[in-house]
């Protein structure tokens, strides 16, 4: 069957009518006089403001020596093509809105959803993943972002990462949780902080005490480091490993564990400031201040830390840091990270102590 060819742009009947008028050497005023209509009526048809009705089609046929079907078909085809064009434009706009809000191709590569050409089907895929209507102007959850800025709602991309983390956490079978487990859980985790390789034991340790743990690579445009949330009455933590350093891993993990003290109604989605800058903390909410303080104090006991700083500053050599870290049962990179966050040591110094943890966790990191 031969393909039906259509013009690139819909041809308005008024354009054809104008050509017919000019071919006869008439003016629009002349045609108006022939039809017995006001000149404005002819002008509106020529300019596409007014549609050609069956009555007008009959009159034009008599005046121009054509068939009335010609004008009715021109009008019907024009309106149909305009409707189809509007539908295509709407579909493009709807797809554009979703692609602007979410890194859809990255999500599809990771198996989170299936890309669809139909905007309705694509919206359904997104809504299913996010658990919210995509028509809403913004997504607001009872969640807090750890940053130097004021509280802000989650973006669609951040919510997508959180929903994926929840889906992975649901698959895990862990022990029963009790708020009384918090203290022994922290103690068990701290026993793993001396050797970098022992980071691999953190997920299993959390599971034994009733906490699901998800290591989920960050999604484009999310800039998140971790989350703490609750599923069916049990806690879960998720980490992105965005900063692949031993100090960042343990600080973020213990920060999320600290949030578990908030209870079952709390959801925290956390964003660390850039680890290579002096980030202000005055804008943090009280819950984030508390989690920061607990994580820092658990990792390096405050009394011992302040005594070490007083006795050592301003010359924090590698040997002194390693000696103090060994005394505390910590990897020296953890102590260095604390010194850098507190501005005792420049971020560029002793970077070799900040070893990566990803080699020990690579089999546990999910997409």
Query: Has residue 97 got a pLDDT over 90?
Result: no
Q: Report, as an integer, the average pLDDT of 101-130.
A: 90
* Choice between 111 and 137, residue whose per-residue pLDDT is larger: 111
Same domain, 126 and 233: no
Give domain status of residue 148, yes or no.
Answer: no
Same domain, 25 and 123: no
Query: Has residue 138 got a pLDDT over 70?
Result: no
Same domain, 182 and 56: no
Distance of alpha carbon 301 from alpha carbon 309, whole angstroms: 12
Note the pLDDT of residue 145. 46
Pick the range with the lowest mean pLDDT from 34-48, 266-280, 286-300.
266-280
Note the pLDDT of residue 262. 77
Q: Report, as an integer, the average pLDDT of 267-280.
A: 57
Q: What is the pLDDT of residues 196-230, one digit of tens each?
A: 999 999 999 999 999 999 999 999 888 899 999 99
Same domain, 228 and 111: no
Percent of the chain with pLDDT over 90: 56
Q: How confident is the model at residue 183 (pLDDT cuts 50, 70, 90)?
A: very high
Note the pLDDT of residue 272. 66
Pick the range with the lowest mean pLDDT from 162-171, 227-236, 239-248, 264-273.
264-273
Same domain, 208 and 272: yes
Query: Has residue 150 got a pLDDT over 50?
Result: no
Query: Has residue 139 got a pLDDT over 70?
Result: no
- SS3 call for 142: coil
Note the pLDDT of residue 250. 97
Which residue is listed with tokens 């060994």?
Answer: 326
Query: Has residue 238 got a pLDDT over 70?
Result: yes
Q: Report, as an integer, the average pLDDT of 177-188.
A: 94
Q: Contact at 8 Å (CB) between 198 and 209?
A: no
**Considering 92, 114, 146, which residue would you say is the last residue of a domain?**
92
Same domain, 332 and 208: yes
Q: Report, as an integer, the average pLDDT of 129-141.
A: 64
Distance of alpha carbon 260 from alpha carbon 255, whole angstroms: 9
Pick the range with the lowest mean pLDDT from 13-17, 55-59, 138-142, 355-359.
138-142
Same domain, 24 and 113: no
Same domain, 263 and 312: yes
Note the pLDDT of residue 147. 40
Note the pLDDT of residue 149. 35
Note the pLDDT of residue 239. 96
Give domain status of residue 83, yes or no.
Answer: yes
Structure tokens at 360: 């020990």
Q: Report, as an integer, the average pLDDT of 113-119.
A: 89
CATH number for 65: 1.10.260.40
DSSP letters, 255-289, are HHHHHGGG-TT--EEE-PPPTTS----TT--HHHH
Q: Report, as an integer, the average pLDDT of 282-289.
A: 62
Query: Has residue 307 got a pLDDT over 80?
Result: yes
Query: Has residue 156 got a pLDDT over 50?
Result: yes
Give domain status of residue 140, yes or no.
Answer: no
Q: How confident is the model at residue 7 (pLDDT cuts 50, 70, 90)?
A: low
User: How far is C-alpha 261 from the chain's CA centre?
Assistant: 27
- Residues paired with residue 235 on neighbouring β-strands, in sequence order: 230
Same domain, 275 and 233: yes
Same domain, 88 and 108: no
Cα dihedral 250, 253, 256, 261 sign: negative
Distance of alpha carbon 127 from alpha carbon 116, whole angstroms: 13
Please state the domain count of the chain: 3
> CA angle, corner 240, sides to 238 and 246, nearest 5?
100
Determine what percent of the chain falls in helix, strand and coil, rounding each to the nearest 5: 55, 5, 40
Give domain status of residue 77, yes or no.
Answer: yes
Distance of alpha carbon 268 from alpha carbon 144, whole angstroms: 5
Average of per-residue pLDDT values in the chain: 86
Give domain status of residue 314, yes or no.
Answer: yes
Give domain status of residue 78, yes or no.
Answer: yes
- Residues paired with residue 265 on neighbouring β-strands, in sequence order: none
Note the pLDDT of residue 132. 74
Note the pLDDT of residue 201. 97
For 112, the domain range is 102-130
The verdict on whether omega for the bond into residue 314 sits within 30 degrees of 0, i.e. cis, is yes
Note the pLDDT of residue 79. 82
Note the pLDDT of residue 264. 66
Give domain status of residue 4, yes or no.
Answer: no
Burial of 81 (0-12, 13-18, 19+ CB in 10 A): middle
Distance of alpha carbon 164 from alpha carbon 158, whole angstroms: 10
Q: Contact at 8 Å (CB) between 118 and 88?
A: no
Distance of alpha carbon 185 from alpha carbon 343, whole angstroms: 30
Tell me the CB-side half-sphere exposure of residue 37, using CA atoms within 13 A.
Answer: 16
* Choice between 141 and 206, residue whose per-residue pLDDT is larger: 206
Q: How confident is the model at residue 283 (pLDDT cuts 50, 70, 90)?
A: very low
CA torsion, points 254, 256, 261, 265, in degrees to nearest 10? -170
Q: Report, as an integer, the average pLDDT of 19-39.
A: 91
**Considering 42, 73, 92, which residue would you say is the last residue of a domain?**
92
Same domain, 125 and 22: no
Query: Has residue 268 got a pLDDT over 90?
Result: no
Q: What is the pLDDT of residues 242-258, one digit of tens each?
A: 999 999 999 999 999 99
Same domain, 166 and 233: yes
Note the pLDDT of residue 271. 77
Give domain status of residue 97, yes or no.
Answer: no
């Amino acid at each position: 069957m031969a393909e039906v060819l259509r013009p690139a742009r819909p041809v308005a009947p008024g354009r054809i009518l104008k050509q017919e008028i000019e071919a006869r050497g008439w003016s629009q005023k002349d045609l108006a006089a022939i039809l017995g209509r006001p000149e404005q009526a002819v002008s509106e048809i020529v300019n596409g403001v007014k549609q050609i009705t069956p009555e007008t089609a009959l009159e034009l046929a008599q005046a121009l020596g054509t068939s009335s079907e010609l004008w009715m078909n021109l009008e019907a085809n024009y309106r149909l093509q305009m409707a189809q064009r509007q539908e295509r434009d709407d579909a493009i706009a709807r797809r554009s809105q979703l692609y602007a809000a979410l890194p859809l191709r990255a999500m599809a590569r990771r198996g989170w959803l299936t890309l669809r050409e139909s905007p309705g089907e694509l919206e359904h895929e997104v809504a299913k993943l996010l658990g919210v209507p995509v028509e809403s102007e913004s997504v607001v959850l009872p969640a807090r972002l750890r940053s130097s800025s004021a509280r802000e709602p989650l973006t669609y991309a951040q919510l997508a990462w959180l929903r994926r983390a929840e889906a992975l956490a649901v698959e895990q079978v862990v022990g029963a949780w009790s708020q009384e487990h918090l203290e022994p859980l922290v103690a068990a985790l701290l026993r793993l902080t001396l050797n970098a390789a022992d980071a691999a034991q953190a997920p299993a340790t959390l599971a034994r005490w009733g906490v699901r743990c998800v290591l989920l690579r960050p999604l484009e445009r999310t800039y998140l480091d971790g989350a703490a949330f609750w599923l069916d009455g049990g806690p879960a933590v998720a980490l992105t490993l965005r900063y692949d350093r031993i100090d960042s891993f343990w600080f973020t993990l213990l920060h999320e564990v600290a949030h578990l003290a908030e209870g079952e109604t709390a959801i925290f989605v956390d964003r660390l400031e850039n680890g290579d800058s002096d980030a202000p903390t005055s804008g943090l909410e009280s819950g984030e201040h508390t989690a920061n303080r607990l994580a820092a104090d658990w990792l390096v006991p405050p009394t011992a830390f302040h005594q070490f700083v007083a006795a050592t500053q301003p010359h924090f050599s590698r040997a002194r840091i390693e000696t103090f870290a060994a005394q505390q049962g910590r990897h020296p990179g953890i102590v260095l990270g604390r010194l850098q966050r507190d501005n005792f040591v420049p971020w560029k110094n002793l970077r070799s102590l900040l070893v990566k943890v990803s080699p020990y966790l690579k089999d546990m990191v999910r997409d």
